[in-house]
Structure 1
Amino acid sequence: MSFFEAETIAYEWIEGKGIGPRFLGHLTEAGRVFGFVMEHIDGARTAESQDLAACQRVLVKLHALGVKHGDINKHNFLIRNGEAVLIDFETAQKCSEKAELGSEYKHLELSLRDPSRRRGVGIHMASDHIPG
């Protein structure tokens, strides 16, 4: 399954559930998908250790749908007004194994404390490069 297909399917699973940004559509050229557009989360920042409770709340919502994110790291949680929004669903998959979901949940706290920039580069917006 291609990256775009996997991510699109995951956004269908979470649509309207208060877990991630709204999926707005695909970018195509000559019938080929080369990207997608999501809702902009204005005023957001990547998660830090003090955001654990907010990140846990959104991860519980995801797991309640029977979905494992598959790439839990602080750069995949955006924080706005004290609430977390999950992004980057390319490795998300349906999962009914409570042990796997529990392991992902337990890994969250360690991930938020990780001082490295591994597995993320922070928020990068295409509009940052458009001359004003």
Structure 2
Amino acid sequence: MFRTFPQIFWKVERFLALILSSFWGTVRLTIALSLLIWLGVMQSAILGHFESHISHEFVFSNAVPLASFNNTVTNTVDFRVITHPPAQLVKYVSVSHNVLPLGILKRNIINKKTAVIKIPLLPEGDWTIANVGVVPNGEQITITRASCEHLPSVKNIWHNNTIDFLDLAVLPTPWSTKHVKLVSSPHLATPGNTAVMKFAEFAHNISVIDKETEIYQHLQGSEVAPRFLGHVTENRGSRVVGFLIEYVEPRPQKGVPNLFTGARDERCNDALASLHELGIAHNDAYPRNCLIRQNGKAVLIDFDQATRGKGDFSRDMALMNTAA
């Protein structure tokens, strides 16, 4: 059904060769020769591109990857994983770039290479971060270190409720991001047992979550923001990595295709004014961050850039009344 680039080029070359054998006119011969030369150059360039670009696929034997990113500071690919039962725990794995040449190559239908990196069995026991590298002779992938390194936690723990990450089921939505998910849990006393979870995938994201947690503390009891429902812990321990807020199902607005784009009307402006009266500047007050509840009231969301103190109300208002 599908043809690779070499097959396609071979058929075109045969076609041009037939032109050469059939037409011996000077002009036709010159054109055909030029096309053959051009075709050869293009074939080398295109195939060279596919040969030079290699993607990498990491396979864990006893864990499921939840998230990953290429850490250019440490020259590693860092993973957040859940280990297989019975000890189902969230762990962090840092894979050195030195293992990349040891991947097993495979090709897809367009001759693109993928190197499959098989991660050794992760160790059992009490550890938080495992490092994956190569043995001294550089010919085998191995676990070089597993440590109980202390990971940063949200410091501002002010709400009485906590729910563990593993007790939350992620629900599919068109608006989910890496850090924001719609979740459900029987522990949630909300309509449909649902809530919005905002969490830090990796340690370097904790400070943003900590800051937003503090903002919600100052908004608790107001109608400007969704209700704060509790903190999200990891591995049923004391480390807090996120929070849960009320899921506000926005009322559909005429001409607004995305339900997470709020109505640009006086209700959003009034909510923004109330926020500033509470001593908080939003700093990212685009219309998408204002939702209209089913009862017609407006609430603001996404306070990761918000600051306490006297803010620039005119700037927030200008953002709210843009088309973004």
TM-score range, shorter chain: 0.7 to 0.9
Percent identity, please. 36
Q: Is the 8 A contact 1:47 1:77 kept in 2?
A: yes
Structure having the larger proportion of residues in strand: 2
**Residue 105 in 1 paired to residue 312 in 2?**
no
1:95 aligns with 2:309: yes
Contact between 1:66 and 1:95, CA under 8 Å: does it hold in 2? yes
Is contact 1:47-1:79 (8 Å) kept?
no
Counterpart CA distance in 2 for 1:91 and 1:65 is: 16
Closer, same or farther: CA 38–8 of 1 in aligned 2, 3 Å: same
Q: CA separation in 1, counterparts of 2:280 and 2:244?
A: 22
Which is greater in Rg?
2
* Pair 51,24 (structure 1): closer, same or farther in 2 beyond 3 Å: same
1:43 deviation in Å?
4.5
C-alpha separation between the residues in 2 aligned to 1:96 and 1:51? Answer: 24
* AA at the equivalent of 2:264: D
Two-structure CA RMSD over aligned residues (Å)? 1.9
User: TM-score w.r.t. structure 1 length?
Assistant: 0.72
Alignment of 1:70-85 (within 5 A): 70-80=283-293, 81-85=295-299
Deviations 1:94-126, CA, capped at 9 Å, x for gaps: 1224xx12221122111xx22xxxxxxxxxxxx
Secondary structure in structure 2 of the residue aligned to 1:46: coil
Rounded Cα–Cα distance in structure 2 between residues aligned with 1:3 and 1:28: 16
Contact 1:47 1:75 in 2 (8 A): yes
Matched, 1:38 2:262: no
- Structure having the higher helix fraction is 1
Matched, 1:4 2:209: yes
Q: Which amino acid aligns with 1:86?
A: L
- 2:230 maps to 25
Worse-matched range after superposition: 23-32 or 13-22: 23-32
CA distance in 1, matches of 2:299, 2:227: 11
- How do 1:41-56 residues align onto structure 2 when only pairs under 5 Å count? 41-44=248-251, 45-48=259-262, 50-56=263-269
Consecutive unaligned residues in structure 2, runs of 5 or more: 1-205, 252-258
Tell which has more relative contact order, 1 or 2 (C-alpha 8 A, sep 6+).
1
Aligned residue for 2:270, secondary structure, equals helix
Per mean C-alpha deviation after superposition, the further-off stretch among 27-36 and 52-61 is 27-36
Name the aligned partner's letter for residue 318 of structure 2. Answer: K
**1:89 offset after TM fit, Å?**
0.9
* Whole-angstrom distance in 2 between the partners of 1:43 and 1:60: 20
- Equivalent residue letter for 2:321: E
| CA contact 1:95–1:101 (8 Å) conserved in 2 | no
Paired AA for residue 317 in structure 2: Y
Q: Does the residue aligned with 2:274 lie in a helix, a strand or coil?
A: helix
